A and B are shown apart, each in its own frame.
Chain A
Amino acid sequence: MTSTPADELARVVRDHAGRLAASLVSLLGDFSAAEDLVQDAVETALRRWPEEGVPDRPDGWLFTVARRRGLDLLRRQQNYRSKLAELQWPVQPAPDDRLRLVFTCCHPALAREAQIALTLRVVCGLTTAQLAAAFLVPETTVAQRVTRAKRKIAQAGIPYRLPRDDELPERLGEVLTVIYLLFNEGYLSSTRDRPHSRDLVDDAEWLTALLAGLLPAEPEVTGLLALIRLHRSRAAARFTPDGQLILLPDQDRSTWDHAAIAAATGLLTRTARRHRSPGPYQLQAAIAACHCEAASWAETDWHQILVLYDLLLRLQPSAVTRLHRAVAVRYVEGAEAALAEVDALRNELGSYPLLHATRAELLRATGDHARAREADQRALELTNNPAQAELLHQRLVRP
């Protein structure tokens, strides 16, 4: 497969933008200026590489452009000028420079949307246009979010530093939440045609791997990495060639990446051995691993999955988790018991399409085909995802 200039840029930006931004922040002490320099270089490359071809050393090229723009920008700030001119590429900032950058972008004093936008932009190097495309919002909205967030970092005195040990659980939690949301967004919208070379799932995996490298002793980071990799290992089986969603029971398990599954479950097992009580990401990864390791849907270890969901519910008593647990209940205790669990969630999750789709499945299993159709119909009315809608439609037209 030949890579286009845009693909090459995406790769170079993902690998180097965070490092470049981190080194510029360290030097200038100005988060916003550093971020602008990197974005400027990326946008210049976006314009020029398709015409002029990809340079021999693309990372060095980006760095040179960023530095030149920095010199232009700082012409009036003489004290930085000599320092900036001396800066060499490749720089080797302390390994935790990028980590500091991630923690600054995900500071709890910033709104969630701002945390996500900043992380993707500063650490992963996405442009405003790419962010807008990924989240289906106008470019002006993204630009405003980013501007507001940068202004707040400067004016509210949000520091560019690593959290202390006693702050780490809360602050790392924020970072992992942001990455998890990125991953989910990418995972759900992968049904859309993909004209652009950036995939949010790739970015989420890359960020988690970066964190795991920098914080190897944090079991939840490893848990999230395993979770993302386990989901990705099944990517080839999730869609038909024409883009229709294939649910887990119907997937061709021979197309799963079994080497990746073995590597991810190995990672999870080693982490579990070192830490007694698993956190929510490890538990979700363990559930994904149960599915990945089953030779067929019928051979899935539902007892194990039910135990894992019970542990997860203790940490995260959410209605959505209870809905997922109900599927395991069906195969352990039967469809009637599962249906009772799902019906108990109807007040809380009444507008959630998956509740109605799950109810429909359970009603069909108990032989109540009329009410099953009603539930499918309701799910179809509520879903926004085209692949989900198509699947529900297929069910409804089936005799």
Chain B
Amino acid sequence: MKYVLMFVETEQFAQELAAKTAAEREQAYQRVYAWFDEHAGKISGGRKLQAPHTATTVRLDGPAPVTTDGPFMEGKEVVSGFTEVDVTDLDEALQMVRTWPGCPVVEIRPVES
């Protein structure tokens, strides 16, 4: 069984990172690498995702599912899980997500090849 974590970056986080000096940024990266190293035995895989503009969001908490453009990036909403699926195209992924019984928002993002 495979699990994938989806990391959500906020605007503030990006701004803070951009404001750092090159050396401070390097330190921040090193802490991330150290975290991966520390948990290396438990990480079975993972990939960098395409940028947020490639996202599609489906809302299932209304009377009918609503499909829209764009990622959700509100601070109160966080990604709670991630699973990698192998399908033909976005429509097939959408078809799967329509019947998703869990959390009310699902973001479909293509994996960077």
Given contacts A157-B110, A159-B90, contact A148 B53 (CB under 8 A): yes
Closest to B69 in A: A111
Give Cα A114–Cα B88 distance, bound, in whole angstroms. 23
Q: Which of B79-113 contact A (CB under 8 A)?
A: 88-91, 93-95, 108-110
Interface size class of A (residues with CB under 8 A): 10 to 19
B55 to A: closest C-beta gap in Å: 8
Chain A CB within 10 Å, residue with most, of B90, B93, B94, B108: B90
Of the candidates B50, B69, B95, the one whose C-beta lies within 8 Å of that of A109 is B69
How does the 8 Å CB contact mask read for A126-161 relative to B, with 1 for contact and 0 for none? 000000000000000000000010011001111101
User: Are B69 and A157 in contact, CB atoms less than 8 angstroms apart?
Assistant: no
> A152, B91: Cβ atoms under 8 Å?
no
By the criterion CB–CB under 8 Å, are A114 and B90 in contact? no
Main secondary structure of the interface of B (DSSP, over half): mixed
Question: Is B70 on the interface with A (CB-CB < 8 A)?
Answer: yes
Interface size class, chain B: 10 to 19
Residue A382 at the chain B interface, CB threshold 8 Å: no
In the complex, which residues 47-96 of chain B have their Cβ closer than 8 Å to any Cβ of chain A? 50, 53-56, 67-70, 88-91, 93-95
CA separation between A22 and B80, bound complex, in Å?
A: 41
The reply on A334 being an interface residue by CB < 8 A is no
Q: How far is the CB of B88 from chain A (nearest CB, A)?
A: 7
- CB-CB < 8 A to B56: which residues of A? 108-109, 156
Taking a contact as CB atoms under 8 Å apart, the answer to whether B54 and A159 are in contact is no
Does chain B have a CB within 8 A of A299? no
Residues of B at the A interface (CB closer than 8 Å) are 50, 53-56, 67-70, 88-91, 93-95, 108-110
Interchain residue pairs with CB less than 8 A apart (30): A107-B90, A108-B67, A108-B68, A109-B56, A109-B67, A109-B68, A109-B94, A110-B69, A111-B69, A111-B70, A151-B53, A152-B53, A152-B69, A155-B50, A155-B54, A155-B110, A156-B54, A156-B110, A157-B89, A157-B90, A157-B110, A158-B89, A158-B91, A159-B88, A159-B89, A161-B89, A161-B91, A163-B91, A167-B95, A170-B67
